Structure 1
Amino acid sequence: MDAYRGFVMFLMAAEILHYGRISEALPESAFWRFMDHHQSHVEWFGCTLHDLIQPSFSFLVGVALPYSIASQQAKEKSFSQLFAKTLRRSLILILLGIFLRSVGREQINFTFEDTLTQIGLGYPFLFLLGFRPTRTVWIALGAILVGYWLAFVLYPLPGPGFSYEAVGVPADWPYHKTGIAAHFNKNSNLAWAFDTWFLNLFPRAKTFLFNGGGYATLSFIPTLGTMVLGLQAGRWLRAGLPYTELLKRFLIAGAIGLAAGWLLTITGISPSIKRIWTPGWVLFSGGWCFFLLSFFYYIIDVRQWRGWAFPFVVIGMNSIAIYCLVHLIDHFIINFLKTILGQHVFEQFGPYEPLASGGAALLIFWLILYWMYKKKIFIRV
């Protein structure tokens, strides 16, 4: 679990390598086009490796919950004490997400669509489901997905006079859909409408009209669905099942998720869209999460091939720390290196300058985490 978490946090931190800049400098390189593609989010439909970072992180929150509950119960903590701690943890995650999004701005940026705030908003409900039987958990997942889908479909489509340009979407946007799928179009859906009301309840420099990427606050509801999938995976892990049975369940769940997400997309019933976390995306990305968990479980726990994963474990044991480091001091680290080594030190690498400067910063981040690991300093929320 720590290795899988460390892997996805490494992918997040590796944005500092800026593969896109290398691809621009080497336009004929298919390799760097491929690397750039998988270090970027798709514009609307589809999925890249980078798009699986947030689902994986959310999924692993669910996987860890049964272990966390068991650990706290072993200390004879009451349910009310556990729930109070859960609410405190949720509030910290929400406030931390807002803080990181406000750094460098003139005033607090009240926004609730990033990874930490999304998890924080859904975590109390996940905690409550952690005490319910498996049947109830599956029913809750179905209710989340069907209910969220129905809410979108029942929200009326924009009229013929609707200005997509006014909400940051070109009139010739190539991802406009018709039929049921039109209810999930960018910045003209239920989640967008909710944010034009909700986000304007907070102090803002100017009126909120739209999110440029189409991201939305209400995505925390289907994100809860992703965490519920992780909760069930965590229960299977703690059940003491033979590894063959456990792998079979993971792989079957992964195959069902991918197939269901794909079918919902091609039929237009619920297109797989990460930016608004559609029910189709919950299932499709959840399928990939089960497959990735299967891989790490088989390699590390079954085959006992652990040495290669140690760098990821160091990162995974302090995921909140690396999240904050990357968001707060990435540019500072690179500028500090230039101050010490010379302002043009990385230019000698030519088109690979971002790889050199970003790689140096990543190494420093990892060494900080390694020092924390050796000192047994683990930041938990």
Structure 2
Amino acid sequence: MDAYRGFVMTLMAAELLSFHRLHEAFPNSSFWAFLAHHQSHVEWAGCSLHDLIQPSFSFLVGVALPYSIASRARLGQSFTVQFGHALRRSLILILLGIFLRSTHAEQTYFTFEDTLTQIGLGYPFLFLLGRTSSRTTWIAFGLILFGYWLAFILYPTPGSAFDYDQVGVSPDWTEHYTGLMAHFNKNSNLAWAFDKWFLNLFPRKSPFLFNGGGYATLSFIPTLGTMLLGLQAGRWLRSGLSQGDIIRHFLIAGAIGIAGGVLLHVAGICPIVKRIWTPAWVLFSGGWCFWLLTLFYYVIDVAGRRGWAFPFVVVGMNSIAIYCLVHLIDRFIINSFYTHLGHGPFLIFGPAYEQLLIGAATLAVFYLILWWMYRRKLFIRI
């Protein structure tokens, strides 16, 4: 789990490498085009490797829960104490998410669509379901996905007079859908309507009209579905099943999830859209999370090949620390390099590679900080 978590957090931090700059400098290079695509989010429907970062992080929260509950039970903690801890953790995640989003704002920027706040909003429900049977968990999972889908379908699509320009969407945008899928169009859906009401309840510099990326607060509901998939994976890991059976369970669950998501999309029932965390996205991304977990589990636990994963373990065991470092001091480190070394060392391969080299140097600093914390057993836990 730590290696998988470290892998996805490294992908997040690796945005500093700015592959899109190299793609712009070398537009005919399929290599940089490939890397740039998988280091950015797709515009609406579909998936890149970068799009799997948040669902992987959410999925792993679920995987870890059975271990956490068992550990606290061994310590003799009552349900009340454990649930109180879950509520505190939820509140801290929400407040930390808001704080990090507000670091460059003139006032508190109340937003609830980022990774930490989304997990925080759903965590108490995850904890409660983590104490139920697998059957109850699967029923809850199905109700969450169907209920979220139905709520979007029941919200009316915009009429012909709807001004898409006012919500940051081009009227002739190629990602517009018709039929049932139209209920999931960008900034004209149920989640967008909810945020137009909900986010304006908080103090803001100007009224909230839309999120430029189409992200929404209500996504925490289906994100809970992603965490429930991780919860079931964690239960299988602790169930006493043989390693071969665990791998089979993971592979089958992954195949069902990916196929189910694709089928819903192709059939025109529900698109695969991360930004509003559609039910099809829960299935599709959850399937990939199962397969990625299978890969790490097989290579590290079954095949016993652990050495290569050490850097990822260092990052994964301090995932909150790297998340905060990237959001708080990335520019400080970059500016410090330029202040003390100038631009010369980062221009050695030419201007096109400057962002790649300064990004790599910054990532190295982050890793050294995490390695120092790991050596001294300093782990930030919430």
Same-fold status (TM-score > 0.5): yes
User: What residue is the counterpart of 1:95 in the other structure?
Assistant: 95
Taking only the aligned residue pairs, the percentage that are identical comes to: 71
User: What residue is the counterpart of 1:260 in the other structure?
Assistant: 260
Quick check: 1:10 aligned with 2:10?
yes
**Alpha-carbon displacement from aligned partner over 1:315-370 (angstroms, at most 9, x marks no partner):** 00000000000011111111111222224331223121111100010011001000
Q: CA–CA distance in 2 between the matches of 1:349 and 1:104? A: 32
The answer to whether the 8 A contact 1:334-1:357 is kept is yes
Q: CA–CA distance in 2 between the matches of 1:174 and 1:104? A: 33
Q: How does 1:84-233 map to 2 (within 5 A)?
A: 84-233=84-233
**Alpha-carbon displacement from aligned partner over 1:190-222 (angstroms, at most 9, x marks no partner):** 000000000000000000000000000000000
Amino acid paired to 2:123: Y
Aligned-residue RMSD, C-alpha: 0.6
Q: CA–CA distance in 1 between the matches of 2:139 and 2:191? A: 23
Q: Secondary structure at the match of 2:370?
A: helix
Q: Which runs of 5 or more structure 1 residues have no equivalent in the other structure?
A: none
User: What residue is the counterpart of 1:363 in the other structure?
Assistant: 364
Residue 106 (structure 1) shift: 0.4
Q: CA–CA distance in 2 between the matches of 1:260 and 1:133? A: 24
**Alpha-carbon displacement from aligned partner over 1:233-264 (angstroms, at most 9, x marks no partner):** 00000112101100000000000000000000
User: What residue is the counterpart of 2:30 in the other structure?
Assistant: 30
Q: CA–CA distance in 1 between the matches of 2:284 and 2:275? A: 13
Amino acid paired to 1:126: L
Quick check: 1:62 aligned with 2:51?
no
Q: CA–CA distance in 2 between the matches of 1:157 and 1:39? A: 32
Deviates most, 342-351 or 10-19: 342-351
Q: CA–CA distance in 2 between the matches of 1:186 and 1:319? A: 31
Q: Secondary structure at the match of 1:349?
A: coil
Q: Secondary structure at the match of 2:349?
A: helix
Q: CA–CA distance in 2 between the matches of 1:17 and 1:318? A: 21
Q: Which runs of 5 or more structure 2 residues have no equivalent in the other structure?
A: none
Q: What TM-score does the superposition give when structure 2 sets the normalisation length?
A: 0.99
Q: Secondary structure at the match of 1:82?
A: helix
Amino acid paired to 1:293: L
Q: CA–CA distance in 1 between the matches of 2:356 and 2:175? A: 33
Q: What TM-score does the superposition give when structure 1 sets the normalisation length?
A: 0.99
Quick check: 1:316 aligned with 2:316?
yes
Deviates most, 44-53 or 344-353: 344-353
Quick check: 1:285 aligned with 2:281?
no
Q: Secondary structure at the match of 1:304?
A: coil
Q: How does 1:269-348 map to 2 (within 5 A)?
A: 269-348=269-348
